Structure 1
Amino acid sequence: MAKAFASQGDMTEKEISFTKIGPGLYAFTAEGDPNSGVIIGDESVMIVEAQATPRLANKVIECVRSVTDKPISHVVLTHYHAVRVLGASAFGADQIIMSDAARGMVEERGQEDWDSEFQRFPRLFEGHESIPGLTYPTTTFSDSMTVYLGNRRVEIKQIGRAHTAGDSIVWVPDAQTMFTGDIVEYHSACYCGDGYFREWGATLDAVKAYNPQSIAPGRGDALIGVEMVDAALAATRDFVDSTYLPVAQVAARGGTLKEAWDAVRAACDPKFKDYAIYEHCLPFNVARAYDEARGIDHPRIWTAERDIAMWEALQS
């Protein structure tokens, strides 16, 4: 019997921070748990990422109400993962926005992902009984769309594949501030189990091309100032490359998944073992990197059963 995933034993409630990252812009963070973003316009509020449950979404709403009484009109979901989307009903928004690709992934693997993440993250899914079902968008877009919150323009775009095939970023041009979802992390491991290792770096370059002055990343502290932004971009790139390159070398010589695991631990442990959710992400990252290095372009669907089988194989 395999030992439990690291995340299954993490039952300590995290301390919430609500950080101003620009005029009317906030990052809701919680010590490596999934972040949310807040964009306050002249007339209404946009939320970026909905959290795993309505219970957690209500913590975001409490923070919003500490700074504005404007209605929440839009929720943007940067990708399909359950811990990001299943709290959406709590916001009562007029529009829930996803890329077409992300919406397709809800259809293709949304229930399997929910079951998988529910097994892996018991703390995040406390109060799961209030989830009404899979979260589907009311509005989708193919490449980009623009939303006006009164006079404030918000751009929602796909700029490349990284964390998933459907990743979007949210750009607020008047403040040169970006909400990246899990394309960028800060002192948190990247979850690459549904990712595209060989494309991630180009997507980070596309983020940098905007010259953001602040970023709300997918996990970890808000990034305020170009120096902190650049450090997070560099660390995210290093994490992704340091995971993929050792696996690619193992796969090229016909090595096993377990050999790939050992090679990644040797490369990544010295640099990243103190990052949030590192131990949780590592087996999924190695498994996806091993698939990609062997030519499996479209990430295979994670199920609760596949999770366990993979973890047992790595420990055998």
Structure 2
Amino acid sequence: MAKAFASQGDMTEKKITFDEIGEGLYAFTAEGDPNSGVIIGDDSVMIVEAQATPRLANKVIDCVRTVTDKPITHVVLTHYHAVRVLGASAFNAQQVIMSNTAYNMVLERGQEDWDSEFQRFPRLFEGHESIPGLTFPTTTFTDEMTVFLGKRRVNIKQIGRAHTAGDAVIHVPDQNVMFTGDIVEDHSACYCGDGHFADWGNTLDNIKAYDVDAIAPGRGGALVGKEAVDRAIESTRDFVQSTYLPAARVAARGGSLKEAWDAVRAECDPKFADYAIYEHCLPFNVARAYDEARGIAHPRIWTAQRDLEMWEALQG
């Protein structure tokens, strides 16, 4: 390869922030690394997103213990990606919940995704020896389900494809707060390697229809207040469209993946080059946009070998 993946050289420890975004609701964020959410009920705690390893999950637990000693009983995983799910064992939760579609994606491509992400993002997998294996849910749902943490109602719902086909959002109606996973990002690049570009905008509209007061996004800072929420939704929309449309124009005229890469860079670099993980995501985003524009509706599985071949085609 001409050079390593951008993320392979990113070994700087990130500053953790733990923000209250509603009564008993918290966003665990780390400068563009994967976020987690915390929902405190009457007698127990729900975690949203489990981090990449038990080592990182324990950092979430440490933050939880600064605000409550209630047991962690539920973990909700918004999708199947390794950096979101492989730390789940650290929580010792009674229930691990994901959509049935996300569960099927674990079966279809979970190991390949783990191998791929481990190669690309070594810092996030420090302590990987403690991962017991792929994370499988104890509970799945189709379309939506409700969990009661005492009197606190938590709605878990699929509202459209975006970052993956199995995306779910978590809405806490008593505070009108949502945990969106990687459907919404804030000043962080969207990873679109498993994405559905044609659907993503409609899914953002579905989130917007909730008119929430705060969002814990997949990456980036907590979004508190309707102005911050709307800004992040629209910047995410702009990122997705600015990635797809140039690649689609190249694909329509029979151009190459490298030409799509150049076209997307020309459109996105001026607007998004300072976003967290931008350089890391870009080649995977271009490859998926180019595929979708050529009629490949079901995202192809990323493997450690396919990663290298794609990167060589773009950088070699």
Q: Which amino acid aligns with 1:33?
A: D
Q: 1:157-211 CA deviation, whole Å, 9 max, x = no partner?
A: 0000000000000000000000000000000000000000010000000000111
Q: 1:71-105 CA deviation, whole Å, 9 max, x = no partner?
A: 00100000000000000000000000000000000
Q: Distance in 2 between matches of 1:2 and 1:141?
A: 44
Which residue of the partner structure matches residue 13 of structure 1? Answer: 13
Q: Distance in 2 between matches of 1:115 and 1:194?
A: 15
Q: Does 1:74 align with 2:90?
A: no
Q: Which amino acid aligns with 1:43?
A: D
Q: Which amino acid aligns with 2:238?
A: D
Which residue of the partner structure matches residue 291 of structure 1? Answer: 291
Instruction: Give TM-score scaled by structure 1 length.
Output: 1.00
Alignment of 1:249-260 (within 5 A): 249-260=249-260
Which residue of the partner structure matches residue 268 of structure 1? Answer: 268
Which residue of the partner structure matches residue 242 of structure 2? Answer: 242
Q: Distance in 1 between matches of 2:2 and 2:140?
A: 40
Q: Which amino acid aligns with 1:193?
A: G
Q: Distance in 2 between matches of 1:56 and 1:2?
A: 31
Q: Distance in 2 between matches of 1:198 and 1:243?
A: 12
Q: Distance in 2 between matches of 1:124 and 1:250?
A: 34
Alignment of 1:133-148 (within 5 A): 133-148=133-148
Alignment of 1:20-59 (within 5 A): 20-59=20-59
Q: Distance in 1 between matches of 2:209 and 2:35?
A: 23
Q: Distance in 2 between matches of 1:234 and 1:98?
A: 26
Runs of 4+ in 1 over 4 A off after TM superposition: none
Q: Distance in 2 between matches of 1:212 and 1:100?
A: 26
Alpha-carbon shift at residue 43 of structure 1 (Å):
1.0
Q: Does 1:3 align with 2:7?
A: no
Q: What number of residue pairs does the alignment pair up?
A: 316
Q: Which amino acid aligns with 1:32?
A: G
Which residue of the partner structure matches residue 212 of structure 2? Answer: 212
Q: Distance in 1 between matches of 2:2 and 2:125?
A: 22
Q: Distance in 2 between matches of 1:143 and 1:284?
A: 28
Q: Which amino acid aligns with 1:288?
A: R
Q: 1:226-270 CA deviation, whole Å, 9 max, x = no partner?
A: 000000000000000000000010000000000000000000000
Q: Distance in 1 between matches of 2:298 and 2:174?
A: 36
Which residue of the partner structure matches residue 112 of structure 2? Answer: 112
Q: Which amino acid aligns with 2:308?
A: I
Q: Which amino acid aligns with 2:306?
A: R
Q: Which amino acid aligns with 1:136?
A: F
CA RMSD in angstroms comes to: 0.4
Q: Distance in 2 between matches of 1:130 and 1:14?
A: 21
Stretches of structure 1 lacking an aligned partner (at least 5 in a row): none
Alpha-carbon shift at residue 2 of structure 1 (Å):
3.0
Q: Distance in 2 between matches of 1:187 and 1:201?
A: 18
Name the SS of the counterpart of 1:28 in structure 2. strand
Alignment of 1:159-170 (within 5 A): 159-170=159-170
Q: Which amino acid aligns with 2:244?
A: Y
Q: 1:18-64 CA deviation, whole Å, 9 max, x = no partner?
A: 00000000000000000000000001000000000000000000000
Q: Which amino acid aligns with 1:184?
A: V
Name the SS of the counterpart of 1:123 in structure 2. helix
Alignment of 1:296-307 (within 5 A): 296-307=296-307
Instruction: Give TM-score scaled by structure 2 length.
Output: 1.00
Q: Distance in 2 between matches of 1:2 and 1:51?
A: 31
Q: Distance in 1 between matches of 2:44 and 2:151?
A: 10
Alignment of 1:191-206 (within 5 A): 191-206=191-206
Alignment of 1:82-97 (within 5 A): 82-97=82-97
Name the SS of the counterpart of 1:124 in structure 2. helix
Q: Distance in 2 between matches of 1:58 and 1:177?
A: 24
